[in-house]
Structure 1
Amino acid sequence: MTPPNQDSDTLIISDLASTNIEIYLSVSKTVKFLSLIVVALTLVSIIIQFTLYDLPYYPSREALVRLFNVDGEANIPAVYSTATLLFCAILLAIIAHAKKVAENRYSRHWRALSIIFVFLSLDELVSLHEELINPMRSLFHTSGFLYFAWVIPGGIFVIICLLMFMQFLTALPRTTRRLFFLAGSIFITGTLGVEMVGAYYSNLYGQENFVYAIVSTVEELFEMVGVLVLISALMSYINLYVKEVGLRVRFSDRQVVRSLNLQ
């Protein structure tokens, strides 16, 4: 029975404050699910590109290419890549928070990585890095492998990050460290290495052909696989070293406390 001096809002707040939400994420199932999406997006993109360059015209061809080309912007593959990069940023932020609470010396490194991945997710959606191509090309008069001249500041950024985070990386558990290096190697091979191959080919033969479409698809595949390996590494790390994270959400004068149990 409700006491006379206690209104219904107070009872609602009490009920909400005692609510616990437990979220269980299987590392293997998550990776398998995302792997299927990567394979599907890659195959569909190749098929669509093949129909564009090697088959007769059919209705909605250009629309399908825009929608499923893995090298496109603001389409289904771009949204997927943006979402997975943002997921990495969230996982990194969770670890950063846990490390800060534990007063770990590397909490700032985790936070910095989270911020970097927020930027990468935004760049993946709208291709901000491509705005650097023409200015860099005009400045350095690049051609061949450096025809897409954004790789110059991009490569410098990678080197700076590697130097800044080297001590942090060496302090990671061995399995996590290996997965981080594997993920980074795959991702950088795609985003810089295969990109430079595509630049060389584009400089000679242009981009409107099936060969360039395959090169750009391989580039995006490397990037998606690299992110997938990183997601596996981060989820496994959280499962082993960050057992529980408390999340406090405040709405006006009401307060909800939820517990996220990451398994």
Structure 2
Amino acid sequence: MSVLFLYLGFDELLRLHEKIGRMIEASFDTGGIFYYAWVIPYGIALLILGLIIVKPFLKLPFRFQKKFFLSGFIFVAGAVGLEMLSGWYIDFNQIPNEKINTTLAIVAFYTTEETLEMIGLSYFIVSLLKLKETYPITAKSI
């Protein structure tokens, strides 16, 4: 998970998802909910990651499964869900690139998207700290 968060941090800093999206847009005709084409490979990666972590996830106590699932759901709803919704809105309303950042609805989408990402990440951190507090790791348990 730490490698994933490290990648996501670099992705946000270097805008890797936007570069990947532009490469996909150059190869395929994307639009509607795939206006931001990066959601396609990242969605596939998310499904693969879900399959990889399902076994250790199910070993967690149920109350932490709920907390981690909810935090992930909130994060993904913002990062992918609202990105797809705003892409659809831009495409449907034929908003030109130079007006995207000044369109009130798009600003609201972006603000809500970033807020959900931060809420999901914050809730994950709080849940992780609560897990560590409840089940401390000792030299004996390693």
The answer to whether TM tops 0.5 is: yes
Alignment of 1:66-77 (within 5 A): none
Task: Tell me, yes or no, if structure 1 residue 233 matches structure 2 residue 127.
Answer: yes
**How far did residue 151 of structure 1 move?**
0.2
1:132 corresponds in structure 2 to 20
**Which of these two proteins has the greater Rg computed from alpha carbons?**
1
Alignment of 1:74-93 (within 5 A): none
Q: Distance in 1 between matches of 2:15 and 2:108?
A: 19
Code of the residue aligned with 1:164 in structure 2: it is I
1:171 to 59, 72, 80: 59
List alignment gaps of at least 5 residues for structure 1.
1-112, 246-263
**How far did residue 114 of structure 1 move?**
0.8
Q: Greater shift after overlay, 126-135 or 161-170? A: 126-135
Alignment of 1:1-263 (within 5 A): 113-203=1-91, 204-206=94-96, 207=100, 208-242=102-136
**How far did residue 125 of structure 1 move?**
2.2
Task: Give aligned-pair identity as a percent.
Answer: 33
Deviations 1:192-241 (A, max 9, x none): 11000111122222413121111111111110110011011110011111
Code of the residue aligned with 1:215 in structure 2: it is F
| Number of equivalenced pairs | 133
TM-score by length of 2: 0.88
3-state SS of 2:37 partner = coil
1:252 corresponds in structure 2 to none
**How far did residue 244 of structure 1 move?**
5.5
Q: Distance in 1 between matches of 2:21 and 2:8?
A: 17
**How far did residue 162 of structure 1 move?**
0.4
3-state SS of 2:88 partner = helix
- Measured on the aligned residues, the alpha-carbon RMSD in Å equals 1.4
1:108 corresponds in structure 2 to none
Code of the residue aligned with 2:40 in structure 1: it is I
List alignment gaps of at least 5 residues for structure 2.
none
